Amino acid sequence: MKMRLALAIASILILVVHGFIFYKQFFHKWETYQASYFDQARTLAKTDQEKDALSGRSAKIEQIIVTQFGNERVDRCTTCHIGSDDPRFKDAPHPYKAHPYSAELGDKQGADGKWERRHKFSDMGCTVCHDGQGRGLEEFYAHGEDEFWNDPMIGYVTQENWKYKDKLKGKEFMQANCAQCHTDKEFKSTPLVNKGRELFIQKNCYGCHRIEGISNGTLGPDLSEVGKKWKLDYIYESIVDPRANSKTSFMPKFNLSDDEVKALAIFLKSRRGFNYAETNLDRYRMTLNKGQVTPPAPVTDKSPVPAANDPVARGEQLINERACVACHKIGDKDGGIAPDLSFEGLIKEDKWVAAHFKDPRALVPDSIMPTFGFSDADYQAMTAYLVSQKKTPSLNNPQEIYTNLCLRCHGDKGDGHGTIATYLDPYPRDFTNAGFMNSKTDDRLMNSIKNGVPGTSMPAWGKVLNDDQVKGVLTYINQNFTKEARTEIKKRDVPEKNPVADTPESVAAGESIYLQRCTGCHGRKADGKGPNSLDILPRPRNLLNAGFINKAEDRRLFESILYGVQGTAMPPWIDYGLSKDDVGNVINYLRSLNKNKKDLVAMCH
Amino acid sequence: MVHSMKKNNFLTTLKEMPMSIWNSVFRNNLPHTDLGRSKTSFTNFFLHIHPVKVHKHTLKPWFTMGLGLISLFLFIILTVTGVLLMFYYVPSTTQAYDRMLDLRGSVAFGVFLRNMHRWAAHGMVAAVFLHMCRVFFTGSYKKPREFNWVIGVFLFLLTLFSSFTGYLLPWDQLAFWAITVGTAIAGYAPVVGEQMRFLLLGDTTVGQEALLRFYVLHIAVLPIVMFLLVAVHFWRIRKDGGLSRPEDADVVETPEVTAPASVPAPAMAMAAASGSSGIVVLEKKHYGIQGLVRGPFTKVGNVPENTVFSYPNLLLAELFVFVLTVAGVIIVSAYFNAPLEEPVNVMHPPNPAKAPWYFLGLQEQVSYSAFWGGVGVPAIEVLILLLVPYFDRGVKGVGKWFAKERLLANTLFMVFVVVNIILIIIGTFFRGQNWEFVSPF
C-alpha cells in the first residue's frame, strides 16, 4: 500500500513537470510578437488588398532560406521582426520596426514615393549583413549573446564577457560584412575596411601575416580566415594586447590610435577565407598563385614625395615611409621593439645589411624581423642609407655608454630585461647572474662586447668604442650589476682543437649521444626549443645558429659541454659520464649540422 | 431456425468481440488468485522475463537500490529519445551543428529531447558504475554469478563507449576536442595504438569520416550489442537463481522449513532433470518451468514460502523505480540545458581541452604518464575487474553490504573506486590552462 501511494505521488510529480515543459514549449515570445503585429497591421490596413493579404496569415515560424551566399543559410529573424519589410511600421518600436530604406544602400525611391530595396531580404536574408544566429528563435541565441556564438549581431550586440565591448558597438562595424561581397579596394561605402587594408600594409602587418590574395608573411598566424574563426572582441584584443591570448606571442604592441585599431579589426573581421563575390575560378587561380611571393608595395606607389635620385636620400625616404621605426630606433625615433639602427654604418657592413634585408634569419636565426618583398633597388637604397649612419656618438663615461648603447636590450638594472628584450632571441645576457659572469674571463667578456656575438643581436661595439671604453663599460657592469668580486677562474683541461677526427662515424656517434642527452633542452631539431626550454633562463642555445656555432672555437664548445655553463641550466656532462671522446663526437655532430651554412659566417662581422 | 441461430450467433460474436480481442491480447484477466498471478507473469511476453515468484530479500530497496533497473530504464529513455533525435540529425560536418541549432531553435521539444538524451547518458554512466559497485560490495559476483559479472563489466565498457561516441555528434568545439583528446589516449597503446586510432577515426584527425563512424557505432552497432548483452545479463540473473541474498535470508524468516528442506533438494533437482516425476510436483505447486533451474538456489521444495508473487510485488517496485528515473531525467532536463559550444574550429583548441568527465580520470593519469595512465593502468584495471570473480573464490559474505568476511576485497575495491573518483574530480575541477593545477574556489 505504501508503495502504491509513493508511486502515485511520483506519477503526479512527473505530470506536473510535464505540464511545465509543455507550457514552455508552446508559449513562445515570437507568437506574442506576431499576434501583436497582426493586430496592429489590421488597424493599419486600409485597402482591401492589404486586408486580404493579412487574412491569409497566421502565427508561424517565418524563415528565409538563402542559398547563394556560401553554405545554405536559414534566417528565421523575420519570425520576430515580422514587420521588417513593412513600410507602415517604419516608426514602430523593435521588434516590429521596419528596416529603414537608405539611398546609401542603393535603395531607390520611385515616382510614387515607394521605395524599392537594393538588397532584397528574400534574396539576402538578414545574417549575411548583420551576423547573429539565423536559426535561433530566442533573442539570447538569435542575436548571438550566447558566448559560444562567434558572430553576434555585428556592431549592435556584444557578449557579456567581452573585454572591449564599449569599443565594439556602432553600425560602422557592419562594413566588415559589406566587404564580403563588395571586395573592391576603393569601394566607397566601406571606408573602414579600406583604411584597415591600408594600415595592414602601412604598419607592416603583412610582413608577418599571410592573408590570401594580399600577403605571404609566415612569422605570424595566417589571417585569411580570421574573421570567420574569431570574435570581434578577440581580434580587437589581439591587436591591442597580443600576449593576452597567447603568452608565447612575440607580436609587438604597436602604437595605434583607437580609430586605427577599429579599422584594422573591421578589416580583419571581413577576412573570412572566402568572399561571395569570388567565383570558383577566381579561387582556383588564387591557389595556383599560392607559392608565388607577390609582395604588396602600395605604399611606394602612393608616396607623396617624388623618388629622390640619390640612393641615400631615397633610402631615408623609403625607411620613413615603410615605418621601420615602428619597431626600430633611428636617432630619436624609437619603436621600442627592434634593435637600434642609429650606428648601423659603424657596426655593420653594407654586405651584411643587404643580406640581412633579404633574409634576416639567415644571419640571426631567431630574429622576428619579417622578410619584406621589396625590390632590389629599394633594398640597395635602404642599405645605402643605413650604412651612412656613421656618426660616432660622443660618450664620455661608462655610464653614458651603458645608457646609450646597452640599456635598450640589457635593461637599466642590467638583468637583461631591457625594453626590447622580449623581442630578441637569444635573450640579452643577465649581468646580475654572478655565477655566469664570474665564470668567464675578462678577455671573453671583452671579446663579446668588442666583436659582438655572431648570430645574435649583439653588435660589435669595438667599432664604436675604443679598448679603454670597452674595459670601462665592463667594469661598470661588474660594479653595478654583477656586484660580486671577480674570482679566480679554474683552469680546466680542455683541448684547443677537437681531438676526435671529423668522420661520418664520429658524427653518427655524436648524434646518438645528442639524442640521448641533449634533446630535453636543446630539442630534437637542435633548435634550442626542447620541451624543457620554456622553463629555463637563459634559454638553451639554438645549435642550428650557424653564425654562432661556426664562430665558436672547439675549446669553448668543449668547455661548455664538459664542464657546463655556470649560472645556466647547462650541467657539467663530465659528471654524467661523458668522456672527452664523447664530447668530441657531439661537437663533430653539431658542426655537421651547420656545415653547409659556412658562407654565412664570413658575413657575420 | 438455422438461420436465426446463425444470426443470433453472429450477434453474440459481435457482442463478445471486444472481450475476445482483449482476451486474445491478454491471455488472462487481472488476477485475483495465486494461479492467476503466476499465469500473468508467465503468459505475458513483457512480464515473462520475471520469475513467477521472487524472494522477499530481492525486493528490499536498500539492497539493490534499484541501480540495475535505473540503468535499464535510462537505456530505454536513451533509445526512445535517441530515435526521435535521429529524425533531425545528419552526421555531416557541414550540417550537424546547424541541426543542433535547429533543435534548439525551432524543433518542438528539441531542446528537451537533447537535454534528456544528454543527461540520461551521463546518468547511465554513473548508474552502471554504481550498480557495479553495489554488486561488488554485496559480493554478488560470486559463484554461480561469475560470468554475469563479466558481462556486466563489458556492459559498463560499452556504456562508456556509447556515451563517448555520442559526445562527438553535436560537432561543436566541446565535442571535437573531447574526442581528439579521447582518441589520442587510444593512440598511446603500444603497437596497435595508432592503427586503432585510425580505425576509429577513419583518418589521421577527427573529421567527416570520424563523425560518420561514431554515428554508426552510436546509433546501431553499440546499442544492438548492448541490447543483446543486456538480454543475456537478465536471462542469467534468473538462471543463476535470482539476485544474490545472504545464506541466512531464509533461515531467519522461516526457520521451521529450512531444516527438512535441505535433504530433498538434490533429489528434487535430479528428479526435475530426469523428467516426469518432477513435473507432477510443479503442476501441483504452480512453479512452472522454475523447477528446471539447477544449483543450490532451486526453490522447489527448498525455499517454501519466503517468496512473493512477482505480480504485483516486483512489478510495482519496478514501476516505482521507472517513475523515479523518468522524473529525475525530466526534472534535470527542464532546468539544465545540454551544452552547445562554438562550431568546430580545428585551429583553436580550447585550453585545456578536456575529455568527457568520465574519461577525465584517464586524462589526469595521462598527464602523469601517457602510456601507463592512458593504456597500461586502465587495461590492467579492466583485466582485474573481469577476473575478480575468478580470483575471489570464497563463498562467505554473499548478499550482504560490506560483509565482514569480505573486508579485504571490499577495501581494495573501495580504494579503486575512491582513487578513480578523486582523479575525475581533480581532472574536472582542479585542472586549468595547460593542465596546471588550479583551485576552483
Q: What is the DSSP string of B236-257?
A: HHHHTTSS---THHHHHH-HHH
pLDDT band at A306 (very low <50, low <70, confident <90, very high): low
Per-residue pLDDT 10s for chain B (441 aa) are: 455 556 678 888 898 899 888 888 877 778 888 888 888 887 888 888 888 888 888 888 888 898 999 999 999 999 999 999 999 999 999 899 999 999 988 888 899 999 999 999 999 999 999 999 999 998 888 888 889 999 999 999 999 999 999 999 999 998 999 888 888 888 888 888 888 899 989 888 899 999 999 999 999 999 999 999 999 999 998 888 788 888 776 654 444 444 444 444 444 444 444 444 333 334 344 454 544 555 555 455 554 568 888 888 888 889 889 998 999 999 999 889 998 988 888 878 887 888 888 888 888 888 888 788 888 898 999 999 999 889 888 888 888 888 888 888 889 999 999 999 999 999 889 888 778 888 877
pLDDT digits (tens, 9 = 90+) for A179-219: 988 888 888 889 999 999 988 888 888 888 888 878 877 77
Q: Is A274 on the interface with B (CB under 8 A)?
A: no
pLDDT at A298: 47
Query: Domain check: are A174 and A276 in the same one?
Result: yes
pLDDT at A208: 84
Look at residue B81 in the predicted model and tell me its pLDDT.
95
Tell me whether residues B323 and A7 touch, CB distance under 8 A: yes
Select from A11, A71, A135 the Cβ nearest to the Cβ of B94. Answer: A71
Mutate to test the interface with B, among A229, A233, A249 (most CBs of B within 10 A): A229
Coil, strand or helix: which one is A329?
A: strand
Residues A198, A273: one domain?
yes
The whole-angstrom separation of Cα B417 and Cα B434 is 27
Q: Does residue A234 lie within any of the structural domains? A: yes
Name the residue facing A76 among B106, B108, B341 (closest C-beta).
Answer: B106
Report whether B245 contacts B58 (CB < 8 A). yes
Does a structural domain hold residue A314? yes
Question: Are A186 and A245 members of one domain?
Answer: yes
Separation of alpha carbons B52 and A45, rounded Å: 73
Q: Residue B127: what pLDDT? A: 95
Q: What is the DSSP letter of A543?
A: T
Q: Cis (ω within 30 of 0) for the bond into B343? A: no
What's the confidence (pLDDT) of residue B252?
A: 45
Task: Out of B317, B330, B345, name the one closest to residue A14 (CB).
Answer: B330
Verify that A210 and A266 share a domain, yes or no: yes
Q: What is the pLDDT of residue A113?
A: 82
Predicted pLDDT at B116: 94
Task: Decide if B94 touches A, using CB distance below 8 A.
Answer: yes
What is the model's pLDDT at position A278?
A: 73
What residues contact residue A74 under an 8 Å CB cut-off, 6+ apart? A63, A64, A65, A66, A134, A135, B98, B102
Neighbours of A106 (CB within 10 A): 11
Reply yes or no on whether the pLDDT at A292 is more than 80.
no
Q: Is residue A71 part of a domain?
A: yes
pLDDT digits (tens, 9 = 90+) for A529-578: 888 887 788 889 999 888 888 888 899 999 999 999 988 999 999 888 88
* Among B101, B319, B348, beta carbon nearest to A136: B101
Nearest CA of chain B to the CA of A134: how many Å? Answer: 9
Return the pLDDT at B305.
Answer: 63
C-alpha cell at A475: 667594469
Alpha carbon of residue A213 to chain centroid: 18
pLDDT greater than 60 at residue A303: no
Residue A222 lies inside a defined structural domain of this protein: yes
Q: Are residues A170 and A259 in the same domain?
A: yes
Question: Which whole number is the average pLDDT over A8-20?
Answer: 87
Q: Mean of the per-residue pLDDT values for chain A?
A: 85
B103 touches chain A (CB under 8 A): no
Cα A67 to Cα A73: distance, rounded to the nearest angstrom = 6
Which residue's C-alpha cell is 648524434?
Answer: A511
Place of cell 568520465: B358
Q: Beta strand pairing status for A73-75 and A64-66? A: antiparallel
Mutate which: A1, A2, A4, A7, vs B, most B CBs within 10 A: A7
**Could you tell me if B90 lies within 8 Å of chain A, comparing CB atoms?**
no
Query: What is the extent of the structural domain holding A193?
Result: 165-288
In angstroms, the CA B145 to CA B139 distance is 10
State whether residue A117 sits within 8 Å of chain B by CB.
no
**Best residue in A15, A21, A31 to probe B by mutation, most B CBs within 10 Å?**
A21
C-alpha cell at A374: 621589396
Residues found in chain A: 605
Is position A111 within any domain?
A: no
Of A10, A17, A229, the CB nearest to B347: A229
pLDDT in the model for residue A334: 82
Interface mutation target, options B171, B173, B320, chain A, most CBs of A under 10 Å: B320
Is there a domain that residue A410 lies in? yes
Q: Are residues A183 and A279 in the same domain?
A: yes
Q: Do A7 and B347 touch (CB under 8 A)?
A: no
Lowest mean pLDDT among A78-82, A109-113, A170-174: A109-113
Distances (CA, A) of B268 to B237, B285, B296: 21, 14, 11
Q: Both A475 and A537 in a single domain? A: no
Report the gap between the CA of A61 and the closest CA in chain B (Å).
8
Tally the domains of chain A: 5
Give yes or no for A141 touching B (CB within 8 A): yes
Say if the Cβ atoms of A135 and B334 lie within 8 Å: no
What is the secondary structure of B303-342 as a DSSP string? S-SSEEEHHHHHHHHHHHHHHHHHHHHHHHHHH-PPP--P
Q: How many CA atoms lie within 13 A of B156 on its CB side?
A: 21
**CA distance linking residue A92 with residue A90, whole number of Å:** 6
Structural contact between residues B104 and B113, judged by C-beta atoms closer than 8 angstroms = no
Alpha helices in A402-536 (DSSP H): 407-410, 434-437, 442-451, 467-477, 504-517, 519-522
pLDDT value for A426: 87
Residue B265: its pLDDT value, please? 43
Chain A residue numbers with beta carbons less than 8 Å from the beta carbon of B106 are 61, 76, 135, 137
Q: Mind telling me how many Å the CA of B172 is from chain A's nearest CA?
A: 9
CB atoms within 10 A of CB B304: 16
Q: Which position has the grid cell 493579404?
A: A53
Q: Hey, which of A274-283, A358-367, A559-568 has the most confident mean pLDDT? A: A559-568
pLDDT at position A300 is 44
Give A262's pLDDT tier (boundaries 50, 70, 90): very high
Q: Do A10 and B327 touch (CB under 8 A)?
A: yes
B343 CB within 8 Å of a chain A CB:
yes
Most confident among A324-338, A438-452, B256-270, B364-378 (mean pLDDT): A438-452
Q: Give the contacts of B332 (CB within 8 A, at least 6 positions apart).
A: B115, B119, B123
Joined together, the cell numbers standing for residue B220 give: 546501431
CA distance A285 to A563: 58
In sequence order, what DSSP letters do the residues of A78-103 get, joined into one string?
Answer: GGT-TTTT-GGGTTSPTTTPPPPP-G
Helices (H), A107-214: 121-124, 127-130, 139-142, 175-178, 191-202, 205-208
Mean pLDDT score, A368-388: 86
Mean pLDDT of A250-273: 88
Residues A432 and A546 grouped into a single domain: no
Is A335 within the bounds of a domain?
Answer: yes
Mean pLDDT across A125-142: 91
What integer pLDDT is reported at residue B257 of this predicted model? 42
Q: Are residues A284 and A305 in the same domain?
A: no
- Please report which confidence band the pLDDT of residue A256 belongs to, taking 50, 70 and 90 as the band edges: confident
Q: With respect to residue A495, please indicate whether it lies within any of the assigned structural domains.
A: no
CATH code assigned at A213: 1.10.760.10
pLDDT at position B166: 92
Q: What is the pLDDT of residue B261?
A: 40
Domain boundary among A482, A512, A528: A482
Q: What is the pLDDT of residue B47?
A: 82
CA B345 to chain A, closest CA, distance in angstroms equals 7
Q: What share of chain A is helix, strand, coil (3-state, %, to 5)?
A: 50, 5, 50
Mean pLDDT across the stretch A304-311? 65
Clarify whether residues A169 and A281 are in a common domain.
Answer: yes
Where are the domains positioned within chain B? 53-246+309-435, 259-308
CB proximity A305 to B under 8 Å: no
Is it the case that residue A293 has pLDDT exceeding 60?
no
Q: What pLDDT score was predicted for residue B267?
A: 42
Interface contact flag, B342 A149, Cβ < 8 Å: yes
Residue A539's nearest CA partner among A422, A386, A409, A440 is: A422
CATH of domain B53-246+309-435: 1.20.810.10
